[in-house]
């Protein structure tokens, strides 16, 4: 498997002005791992995730998986959290069946167990807490057998217990797929990431293994220092 993001640039028009959301962003990965994509709000994380997902087409450069540009056949190469049929009366067990039918072969039962979804197996979605709903959303991506898994702020707003469960499942997936986890919650990223990409103002400020980056300082301290110097 190989994910290559090469010189990706994306611009948007806003208020009569051209905003460069991403400017010549490049990185690659050729083995299973969890990549922590860290940046402030508006840094370009979600735009980059959407380009890798094939939702957006870059103005310049390309995102490729196994040599093919992702926007051409995104469903074949990328998993992104999405529940295709959202009936509030549907119990968890039926939602899982829908995911299996919609996305096809995958590690569904493994991640049902890792996310502890059987504890609410017969509960209707409308009666689930935000945390349990988020676990189902995480399953929709982690259960798929795709070379690249994209998770954008998937642990936002979760209590400690639920976040731990989702992060453990994410770490497990990183042994088989390239997982790109965008987040601004530093301790969540530090817990699961093998590698860190810090993005600011649409550009990559740092790309390094987590252990190397945090040998002497916490990820948050490294981030603050880079942002100050990168402004």
The CATH number that applies at residue 51 is 3.40.50.300
231 confidence band (pLDDT: 50, 70, 90): low
* pLDDT above 70 coverage of the chain, percent: 99
pTM comes to 0.93
14 confidence band (pLDDT: 50, 70, 90): confident
Domain that holds residue 127: 3-230
Q: What are the tens digits of pLDDT across the range 52-106?
A: 999 999 999 999 999 999 988 767 889 999 999 889 999 999 999 999 999 998 9
* pLDDT above 90 coverage of the chain, percent: 88
Per DSSP, the residues of 85-148 read ---TT-BHHHHHHHHHHHH-SB-HHHHHHHTTGGGGTT-BGGGS-HHHHHHHHHHHHHTB--SE
Number of separate domains in the chain: 1
């Amino acid at each position: 498997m190989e994910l290559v993001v090469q010189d990706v640039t994306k611009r948007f028009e806003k208020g009569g002005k051209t905003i460069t959301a991403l400017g010549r962003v490049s990185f690659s990965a050729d083995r299973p791992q969890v990549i922590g994509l860290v940046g402030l709000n508006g840094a370009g994380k979600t735009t980059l995730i959407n380009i890798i997902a094939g939702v957006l087409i870059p103005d310049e450069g390309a995102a490729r998986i196994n040599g093919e540009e992702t926007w051409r056949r995104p469903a074949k190469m990328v998993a992104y959290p999405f529940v295709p049929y959202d009936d509030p009366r549907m119990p968890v067990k039926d939602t899982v069946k829908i995911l299996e039918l919609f996305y096809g072969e995958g590690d569904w039962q493994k991640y049902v167990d890792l996310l502890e979804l059987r504890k609410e197996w017969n509960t209707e979605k409308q009666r689930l807490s935000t945390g349990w709903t988020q676990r189902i959303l995480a399953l929709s991506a982690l259960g798929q057998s795709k070379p690249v898994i994209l998770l954008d702020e998937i642990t936002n707003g979760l209590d400690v217990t639920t976040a731990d469960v989702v992060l453990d499942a994410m770490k497990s997936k990183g042994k088989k797929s390239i997982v790109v986890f965008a987040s601004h919650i530093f301790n969540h990223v530090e817990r699961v990431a093998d590698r860190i990409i810090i993005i600011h103002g649409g550009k990559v400020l740092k790309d390094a293994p987590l252990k190397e980056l945090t040998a002497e300082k916490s990820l948050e301290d490294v981030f603050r220092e880079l942002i100050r110097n990168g402004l």
